[in-house]
């Protein structure tokens, strides 16, 4: 459903050029739970940003459902981001003075009926185990509760791909486990790609392990069968 073909990404940093990704080729399928690992600065976030259409590749091609993106317009990229990708990034913060319910409803604004929005939001909140906290404001939530709300929001548009950049970075180990278990559940009918520092956290559930080193794929292995619903 998604393929990177010899993708390279260069950043200009003052006079120097940083080669953040070098000839990266990966093919992803639905139902995969992919763990992306590697040391800080190796290119993990760049990889996710390119997959999510938040950043443009310098050369190569990103193939989406069989279609090359080389001639994508800004509008094509917008459509792709809006319909195909759910982001679970730490920088995608919740609105602190709004409640869990309001934050999730905001992601459902494409649904014209207020009543239907409310119904869908409550179902998503239930799915991530946040029903008891639905009227709590964003600023009052623990790290794990925030991340679960972010996941509910990412699920709101029912996109086929979920991208998570270090979703457990600021969490205690118990909350981290819950967030990973939730993402695993989500991967039953989506492609989930999770960047993490900590392989132990995902070792029990990842179906594939990709190690990035210095902008290149150092290792790419299926480690478990996918289990579609
Ligand atoms: P990781 O997420 O694995 O820590 P990144 O993808 O953030 O790594 O960064 C990969 C490399 O690209 C690093 O050397 C980083 O400094 C550089 N880089 C990332 N974003 C930019 C940018 N916007 N401008 C210049 N260099 C960048
Ligand atoms: Mg990063």
| 56 in Cβ contact with 80 (< 8 Å) | no
Q: What CA–CA distance (Å, rounded) separates 1 from 29?
A: 5
Instruction: Evaluate: CB of 13 within 6 angstroms of ligand 1.
Output: yes
For a mutational test of ligand 1's pocket, the pick from 41, 52, 197, i.e. the residue with the most ligand atoms closer than 8 A to its C-beta, is 41
**pLDDT per residue rounded down to tens, the chain (229 residues):** 899 999 999 999 899 999 999 999 999 999 999 999 999 999 999 999 999 999 999 999 999 999 999 999 999 999 999 999 999 987 667 999 999 999 999 999 999 999 999 999 999 999 999 999 999 999 999 999 999 999 999 999 889 999 999 998 888 888 889 889 999 999 999 999 999 988 999 999 999 999 999 999 999 999 998 876 5
Buried b / exposed e across 189-205, counting CB within 10 Å, b at 16+? ebbbbbbbeeeebbeeb
For a mutational test of ligand 1's pocket, the pick from 8, 10, 12, 43, i.e. the residue with the most ligand atoms closer than 8 A to its C-beta, is 43
Instruction: Evaluate: CB of 44 within 6 angstroms of ligand 1.
Output: yes
């Amino acid at each position: 459903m998604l393929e990177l073909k010899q993708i390279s990404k260069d950043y200009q940093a003052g006079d120097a050029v940083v080669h953040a990704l070098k000839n990266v080729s990966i093919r992803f399928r639905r139902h995969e739970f992919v763990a992306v690992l590697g040391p800080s600065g190796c290119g993990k976030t760049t990889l996710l940003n390119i997959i999510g259409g938040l950043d443009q590749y310098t050369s190569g091609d990103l193939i989406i459902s069989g279609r090359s993106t080389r001639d994508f317009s800004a509008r094509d990229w917008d459509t792709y981001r809006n319909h195909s990708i759910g982001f679970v990034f730490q920088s995608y913060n919740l609105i602190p003075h709004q409640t869990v319910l309001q934050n999730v409803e905001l992601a459902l604004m494409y649904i014209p009926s207020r009543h239907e929005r409310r119904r869908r939001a409550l179902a998503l909140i239930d799915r991530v185990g946040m029903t008891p906290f639905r009227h709590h404001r964003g600023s009052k939530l623990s790290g794990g509760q925030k991340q679960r709300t972010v996941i509910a929001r990412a699920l709101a548009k029912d996109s086929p791909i979920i991208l998570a950049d270090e979703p457990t970075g600021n969490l205690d180990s118990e909350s981290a486990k819950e967030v990973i278990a939730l993402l695993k559940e989500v991967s039953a009918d989506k492609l989930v790609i999770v960047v993490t520092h900590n392989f132990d956290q995902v070792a029990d559930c990842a179906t594939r392990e990709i190690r990035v080193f210095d902008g290149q794929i150092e290792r790419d292995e299926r480690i478990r069968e996918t289990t579609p619903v």
